Structure 1
Amino acid sequence: QYKEDYSEYLSSLNFEDIVATGGKTKVHLKTKSSRLETKLRQLKKPRSPRSAYTFFCIEARKPYLKLTEQSKLLAEKWKALSDSEKQVYEQRAEEDKRRYRDAMIDWEMCMQQTGNSQILQEYFENNNVDVAKKHLAKQLTQCEESLGG
């Protein structure tokens, strides 16, 4: 059934649609993206930083409740917290952001040193990483080359 639907979808595309996607369909792009995510996990890319709300949820969750009930309860509790109570979780989130930035710099350097710069380039392209981050990666590469690494 999927193959039929997919071939029907492909046949429904007009020339402009195909040119606009560079000849690649959304399915192809999604598959490529999921392969990249799998590869990044295998290469031990650091996990994204947690938000203040996530830290709150981890601490305040009730495992015996259904997920929907738990989500509603946690959202209500979060909204009811004062700014000073939220500050504790926001500090944890800031610490986690710093941890993530440091870990990403180490990971990116490791990718360069182990010859996985192609994966790093795909990661930058797929996630629309800003120019500053790309510039940082270029500087790291130049630094390694000047050190003879």
Structure 2
Amino acid sequence: MAPFCLMSVGSVLVKSLGLFSTASAVRCACIVPTLKHFSTTVGGPPKRPLTAYMHYVKAQQPDVVKQNPDIKIVDIVRKIAQQWRTLTPEQKRPFEEASLASKEQYKLDMQKYQAQLSPAQTAAMAEERRQKMAKRKAIRKKRELSHLGKPKRPRTPFNIFMAEHFEEARGTTMQGKLKSLLEDYSDLLASQKQVYVQLAEDDKVRYKNEIKAWEEHMVEMGREDLIRRKEKTRKKAAASKGKKKARVTVLRAKAPAKKTAAKKNTAAQPTTISTATKPKK
């Protein structure tokens, strides 16, 4: 059986293509030429400043490598990290001061760098920064949901078919295997596909039950922010509908009183006019 991450490749590809709208394509097409021009006319942005720990690593790595020439780089970093933990605040202070100095220099270099950018390049940098932040946020949220035990989403019929036949699929690369699996699945008879359709329906029931229990547990933990957006939208729509209904009821109750007052004013006007126009004897 293929790993679970491979089971959802088909649905992920379809969703990705569906989410990549025309507007997104136009925006990316506008940004790419700007970035190319940006990289050729102006040098790259200044490197981010090193932390106090990284200054320590940079200073200690040559000595550790010299003392341990046969160990791997991972073990070298582990040794330096252990040494850093044993340092006193006084011993760490020189590296912290070096980090502060590099931060100040980074600010100056960044100001000079941004001053020579065109508006298009500044917009491209802002868009690139926004995309990076969104990607990091999505990764952090995915890790958090995995840590909290959020149920896996239901699989599609093709996902289940791919999981069962991935090992014997034709092709030497991932793309080749996926292509051959898609061809094999499309060649199945309707009765053969119905087996995987039924399994997918059963998986939907499993997910529905598990996600309901999980969301109830999240509410108990005070994490209502992790509940599905559709459920939140439905509750908000119901609440706003109730408010709107109550408002209409109040307006209907007040309407007759306005009509009565209007009738009284209409009835009073002819009396005034007749008195004013009555001829003298």
- TM-score class, shorter-chain normalisation, is 0.5 to 0.7
**What CA distance in whole angstroms lies between the structure 1 residues aligned with 2:164 and 2:194?**
14
Corresponding residue SS for 1:30? helix
1:111 has 2:218 as partner: yes
Q: What is the aligned partner in structure 1 of residue 196 from structure 2?
A: 89
Residue 32 of structure 1 and its aligned partner are, at CA, apart by 1.5
Structure 1 residues 79 and 60, CA gap change in structure 2 (3 angstroms)? same
After TM superposition, the score normalised by the length of structure 1 is 0.66
The 10-residue stretch of structure 1 (107-116 or 5-14) with the greater mean CA deviation from structure 2: 5-14
- Could you list the runs of 5+ residues in structure 1 that have no partner in the other structure? 139-149
Corresponding residue SS for 1:4? coil
Name the aligned partner's letter for residue 209 of structure 2.
D
**What CA distance in whole angstroms lies between the structure 1 residues aligned with 2:233 and 2:145?**
21
Question: Are 1:49 and 1:97, in contact at CA under 8 Å, matched by a contact in 2?
Answer: yes
Q: For 1:37, which of 142, 145, 148 is the aligned residue?
A: 142
Number of residues paired by the alignment?
A: 121
Q: What is the aligned partner in structure 2 of residue 70 from structure 1?
A: 177
Structure 1 residues 82 and 63, CA gap change in structure 2 (3 angstroms)? closer
Residue 61 of structure 1 and its aligned partner are, at CA, apart by 2.1
Q: What is the aligned partner in structure 2 of residue 56 from structure 1?
A: 161
Q: Percent identity?
A: 28
- Could you list the runs of 5+ residues in structure 2 that have no partner in the other structure? 1-43, 48-109, 237-281
**RCO greater where, 1 or 2, for CA within 8 Å and sep 6 or more?**
1
Structure 1 residues 78 and 5, CA gap change in structure 2 (3 angstroms)? farther
**What CA distance in whole angstroms lies between the structure 2 residues aligned with 1:26 and 1:60?**
36
Q: What is the aligned partner in structure 2 of residue 99 from structure 1?
A: 206
Cα deviation 1:49-93 (Å, max 9, x = unaligned) = 111001111112225852333222211110110111100000000
Structure 1 residues 27 and 69, CA gap change in structure 2 (3 angstroms)? closer
Q: What is the aligned partner in structure 2 of residue 79 from structure 1?
A: 186
After TM superposition, the score normalised by the length of structure 2 is 0.37
Name the aligned partner's letter for residue 12 of structure 1.
T
Residue 117 of structure 1 and its aligned partner are, at CA, apart by 2.4
Q: For 2:131, which of 12, 26, 29 is the aligned residue?
A: 26
The 10-residue stretch of structure 1 (77-86 or 57-66) with the greater mean CA deviation from structure 2: 57-66
Question: Are 1:108 and 1:137, in contact at CA under 8 Å, matched by a contact in 2?
Answer: no
**What CA distance in whole angstroms lies between the structure 2 residues aligned with 1:40 and 1:63?**
33
Cα deviation 1:25-50 (Å, max 9, x = unaligned) = 22222222211111111000001111
The 10-residue stretch of structure 1 (95-104 or 58-67) with the greater mean CA deviation from structure 2: 58-67
Structure 1 residues 94 and 114, CA gap change in structure 2 (3 angstroms)? same
**What CA distance in whole angstroms lies between the structure 2 residues aligned with 1:45 and 1:52?**
22
Cα deviation 1:112-139 (Å, max 9, x = unaligned) = 1122224x15xx4xxxx33xx226778x
**What CA distance in whole angstroms lies between the structure 1 residues aligned with 2:45 and 2:139?**
23
1:12 has 2:122 as partner: yes
Q: Which runs of 4+ in 1 moved over 4 A?
A: 5-11, 135-138
Corresponding residue SS for 2:155? coil
